[in-house]
C-alpha cells in the first residue's frame, strides 16, 4: 500500500501571515492538530497546536498572563511555524511513511507531488496509520482471529493456508511480526467460514496458539 491510498486529500491549510488566534480557531473548528503553511500554492512550513499554545512572548518586559496571551495571539504564523518540514511523496510505501514518523517523533507528514517539489497534494497523519492498521487486521470483519507463532521457514505459512482452505475456510487478512527467536515468526490471521474449534483442530503442534477467538463485526 502507498501513501496515496490513505492520505487526506481535503486539506486544511493556512497562510504565513495569518494570526495565531486564527490558526488555533481553524484547528478547533476543523478538528485538526496541525496546519500546513502554504504561500503561492507551495508548502513553506507546518504549525501544530503545540506551537500555537507555547508561542514565545512578543515582548521583553514583564507582563500579565492575559496581556501576554493577547499579544501572542496576534503574532503571524510565520514566526512560530516549523520550516524544516519532513515530507513524503504519494507513491511512498506507507510503512516507510510510518517509520519516518516514528524516527522523527512527529504525528503527520505533508505529502508533496515529488521529492524535489514543494507542491502540497495531501497529508498523512497517525490517525491514517491507525486506520490502515485496523484494515490490515480485519478488525471490521467477523470470523476467527488467530494469533499464532509458527516456524520461520519456507512453506510453513502456505501449509497452514492450505489446511484452512481444505476445511472450507478462507484467510481474509494476515499480518506478521517478529518473534523472540529468529527461527520463529508471529502471525495474526482473520479466517472466515470456519468456527473456532475447527480452526484449532487444523493447527500442528509446532504452531503455538497465542490467542484464538471468534469475533463479531466491530461497532
Place of cell 521529492: 115
Count the Cβ atoms, other than its own, within 10 Å of residue 7: 22
Question: Which residues, in sequence order, are CB contacts of 2 under 8 Å at separation 6+?
Answer: 90, 91, 92, 93, 94
3-state secondary structure of 165: helix
Cα separation, 80 vs 71, whole angstroms? 14
For position 5, what pLDDT does the model report? 93
What is the chain's pLDDT, residue by residue, as a tens digit (219 residues)? 899 999 999 899 999 999 998 998 999 999 999 999 999 889 999 999 888 877 765 555 554 545 555 666 778 999 989 999 999 999 999 999 999 999 999 999 999 998 888 999 999 999 999 888 888 777 777 899 999 999 999 999 999 999 999 999 999 999 999 999 999 999 999 999 999 999 999 999 999 999 999 988 655
Residue 57 has what pLDDT? Answer: 59
Give the chain's domains with CATH numbers: 3-134 (3.10.580.10), 138-215 (3.30.70.260)
Over residues 1-13, the pLDDT tens digits come to 899 999 999 899 9
As a whole number of angstroms, the distance between CA 109 and CA 104 comes to 10
For the chain, the farthest-separated pair of C-alpha atoms sits apart, in whole angstroms, at: 78
Please give the pLDDT value at position 61: 53
Amino acid at each position: 500500500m502507498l501513501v496515496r491510498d490513505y492520505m487526506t486529500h481535503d486539506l486544511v491549510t493556512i497562510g504565513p501571515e495569518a494570526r495565531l488566534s486564527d490558526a488555533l480557531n481553524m484547528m478547533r473548528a476543523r478538528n485538526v492538530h496541525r496546519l500546513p503553511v502554504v504561500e503561492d500554492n507551495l508548502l513553506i512550513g507546518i504549525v501544530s497546536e503545540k506551537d500555537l499554545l507555547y508561542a514565545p512572548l512578543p515582548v521583553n518586559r514583564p507582563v500579565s498572563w492575559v496581556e501576554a496571551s493577547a499579544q501572542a495571539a496576534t503574532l503571524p504564523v510565520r514566526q512560530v511555524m516549523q520550516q524544516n518540514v519532513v515530507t513524503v511523496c504519494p507513491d511512498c510505501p506507507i510503512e516507510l511513511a510510518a517509520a519516518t514518523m516514528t524516527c522523527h517523533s512527529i504525528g503527520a507528514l505533508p505529502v508533496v507531488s515529488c521529492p524535489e517539489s514543494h507542491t502540497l497534494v495531501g497529508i498523512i497523519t497517525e490517525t491514517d496509520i491507525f486506520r490502515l492498521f485496523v484494515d490490515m487486521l480485519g478488525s471490521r470483519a467477523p470470523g476467527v482471529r488467530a494469533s499464532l507463532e509458527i516456524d520461520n521457514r519456507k512453506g510453513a505459512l502456505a501449509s497452514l493456508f492450505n489446511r484452512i482452505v481444505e476445511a472450507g475456510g478462507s484467510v481474509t487478512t494476515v499480518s506478521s511480526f517478529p518473534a523472540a527467536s529468529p527461527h520463529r515468526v508471529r502471525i495474526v490471521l482473520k479466517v472466515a467460514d470456519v468456527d473456532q474449534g475447527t480452526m484449532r483442530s487444523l493447527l500442528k503442534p509446532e504452531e503455538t496458539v497465542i490467542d484464538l477467538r471468534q469475533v463479531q463485526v466491530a461497532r
